[in-house]
Amino acid sequence: MTCREFEQRATSLTLWELSQAQDQQILGHAGGCQKCAAWLQQQRMLAATMQTLQARTAGCAAGPDVERVLLRAFRQGPSELVRPEMAQRFIPIAMRLSRFFEVGAYVAVGAAIAVGLFLGVRLLERRSVNLPVNSQSAQPSASSPSVAAETKPQQQLPTVSRSSVNRLRPRHVLSASQSLPDTAEPSQTSTDSDYVALMFCDPLSCSSDAQVVRMELPTPGMTGSGGEPDAQRGIADVVVGYDGVVRAVRIVN
Amino acid sequence: MLTDLTDEQLLAQALAGDEDSFTALYRRRQGPVFRFALHMSGSWLIAEEVTQDVFMVLIQRGRDFDPSRAALGAYLFGVARNYVRRALERNYAETALSSPVDDEAQSLMVNSDPGEGIARQQASTAVWKAVLSLPEHYREVVVLCDLQELSYADAAEALGCALGTIRSRLHRAHDMLSRKLQHSAAAAPGIASVTARCLS
């Protein structure tokens, strides 16, 4: 037996087994190897001292107070200590209730997220609508005086944004606007030339979402040739949304 | 008879509400749990507290115990180990480690031979101090395998580690203990004489 084998064999034994030293192979090797014999002796001494500690604490146990407290707790019967048949009856109900509340919580969280997204989108929309109106209000001063004279009706209007008018694009309005010289904003693109400025009027009716405005529509005869306005004047009811976007147009005459 | 029943059977009956079964199980298992906590902490107070906590866990969460995974004894040692660790980390750490074996623990030790009382007490106190000065994972295996005389397999179950880990930790712990005891023997020759008498 080599020293390595001795060590492997010795570590597989408990301290008590080692101290009794009944294993002939271990004893044989220790008899011939001084180092392993010293180690074995050390283990035997350790086992002996451990035995004194073990013997001295052998009778130690928890006091009667501990048992009393535990028995009181046992008698009080925590929820786990219900009878099995009772447990089987009540646990499924509790499980079902907890699942119901769990699903309810998930639904509530989902609804909150959806509402948050909806409000966020609405807020963004409102901002995107307000920005062009503000920028537009500064622009008329940039136009030349001659152009300003030509586009007089247009300047009176414009709480309704051009982009919003463009979204609606009623067919007859577009045809009228095509003949308009788009001189108010020379820098605008060709698509902006489709816009027709609408006059500001008091609303006929209001609601939280929209208001209906009756207004005169510029027509080709009126704007282009300068003919009699009354003869060619078009009256329309325009539904303007809370965000300034025209929702619908109804031609009255 | 309740004494003929296994731990697992007693636990099952206790969980069904049988108080006698619980009492029998407590009286059978509280000693080892208490001594484990006492050897680990060196404090009588901690040992009692841990014993109470361990059996309280058994009352409240005894249904979580799975007999197929470990024996009830090993399970209780595992729970006790966690509570000892918490207690030492908590408020007792300073008092327990500054005076490793408290007065109450020493006074309640069994003294079988009054003639050798003092020398033996010195020797056992020296061993205990050496055990308490070991790092926790070495102390656990020494207490379980050497003082509680658990098999390596049961100790591995209680500590939740491999058999080889227990062996190697124990081997290392024995070396450390031997060195510590040699130092204390050099400081107090009485310990060495008691050890020699034990061996003879």
Nearest alpha-carbon partner for A79 in B52, B62, B65, B55? B62
Report how far apart, in Å, the C-alpha atoms of A249 and of each of A167, A214, A240, A243, B154 are.
12, 9, 9, 16, 88
* Number of continuous H segments (helices) and E segments (strands) in chain B: 11, 0
Cβ-contact A201, A213 below 8 angstroms: yes
B34, B60, B168 ranked by CB distance to A60: nearest: B34
Q: Which of A14-28, A54-68, B28-42 has the highest mean pLDDT?
A: B28-42
A11, A46, A57 ranked by CB distance to B39: nearest: A57
Torsion of CA A97, A99, A104, A105, to 10 degrees: 120
Q: Who has greater pLDDT, A163 or A106?
A: A106
| Rounded CA separation B166/B152 (Å) | 7
CA B1 to chain centre: 29
Contact A77/B17, CB-based, under 8 Å?
Answer: yes
B181 → chain A, closest CA residue: A46
Kindly provide the ipTM of the predicted complex, given to two decimals.
0.77
| Rounded CA separation A60/B164 (Å) | 31
Which phi and psi (to 5°) does residue B92 adopt? -90, -10
Q: Who has greater pLDDT, B66 or A117?
A: A117
3-state secondary structure of B29: helix
CA distance A102 to chain B (A): 24
pLDDT > 70 fraction of chain A, expressed in percent and rounded: 54
Question: Two tokens at B35?
Answer: 């001594």
Q: Kindly list the structural domains of chain B, giving each domain's residue range(s) and its CATH number in brackets, ordered by start.
A: 1-100 (1.10.1740.10), 109-200 (1.10.10.10)
DSSP B151: -
pLDDT value at position A111?
A: 94
What pLDDT digit, counting tens, does each position of A39-57 carry? 888 888 888 888 888 888 8
What pLDDT digit, counting tens, does each position of A177-188 carry? 344 444 444 444
| Rounded CA separation B36/B51 (Å) | 9
Helix (H) / strand (E) containing A246: strand A246-251
Q: In order along chain B (200 residues), what is the average pLDDT of each group of 10 residues?
A: 82 88 91 92 89 91 84 90 88 52 54 59 82 91 90 88 90 89 68 49
Q: Who has greater pLDDT, A158 or B46?
A: B46
Question: Two tokens at B89?
Answer: 């980390």
Task: Work out the burial of residue A150: count CB atoms within 10 Å of its CB; fewer than 13 is exposed, 13-18 middle, 19 or more buried.
Answer: middle
Beta bridge pairs of residue A212: A205, A239
| Rounded CA separation A84/B14 (Å) | 12
B14, B15, B146 ranked by CB distance to A15: nearest: B146
| Rounded CA separation A111/A115 (Å) | 6
| Rounded CA separation B156/B169 (Å) | 11
Dump the DSSP string for B75-119.
HHHHHHHHHHHHHHHTTSHHHHHHSSS-HHHHHTS--S-GGGHHH
Alpha helix ranges (H) inside A58-168 = 64-76, 84-137, 145-150, 152-156, 162-168
Question: What mean pLDDT do residues A120-130 have?
Answer: 83
A45, A67, A73 ranked by CB distance to B59: nearest: A73
Q: Which of A18, A53, A72 to mutate to test the interface with B (most CBs of B within 10 A)?
A: A53
Q: Which of A34-38, A79-83, A98-102, B143-147 has the highest mean pLDDT?
A: B143-147
CA distance A22 to chain B (A): 15
Q: Which residue has the tokens 């209680």?
A: B158
pLDDT > 90 fraction of chain A, expressed in percent and rounded: 7
If one counts every other C-beta atom within 10 angstroms of the C-beta of residue A184, the result is 24
Report how far apart, in Å, the C-alpha atoms of A190 and of each of A128, A143, A161, B36, B48 are.
21, 17, 17, 91, 91
| Residue B113 contacts A, CB cutoff 8 Å | no
If one counts every other C-beta atom within 10 angstroms of the C-beta of residue A134, the result is 9
Q: What residue type is A228 in one-letter code?
A: E
pLDDT at A70 exceeding the cut of 60: yes
Q: Which of A206-210, A225-229, B49-53 has the highest mean pLDDT?
A: B49-53
pLDDT value at position A172?
A: 40
> Considering chain A, what is the average pLDDT of its residues?
68
| Rounded CA separation B199/B193 (Å) | 10
Contact A49/B195, CB-based, under 8 Å?
Answer: yes
pLDDT value at position A175?
A: 38
**Whether pTM exceeds 0.80:** no
CA distance A72 to chain B (A): 10
If one counts every other C-beta atom within 10 angstroms of the C-beta of residue A216, the result is 15
Contact B35/A46, CB-based, under 8 Å?
Answer: no
If one counts every other C-beta atom within 10 angstroms of the C-beta of residue A174, the result is 15
Task: Work out the burial of residue B165: count CB atoms within 10 Å of its CB; fewer than 13 is exposed, 13-18 middle, 19 or more buried.
Answer: middle
Contact B47/A62, CB-based, under 8 Å?
Answer: yes
Task: Work out the burial of residue B146: count CB atoms within 10 Å of its CB; fewer than 13 is exposed, 13-18 middle, 19 or more buried.
Answer: buried
Nearest alpha-carbon partner for B97 in B68, B60, B136, B62? B136
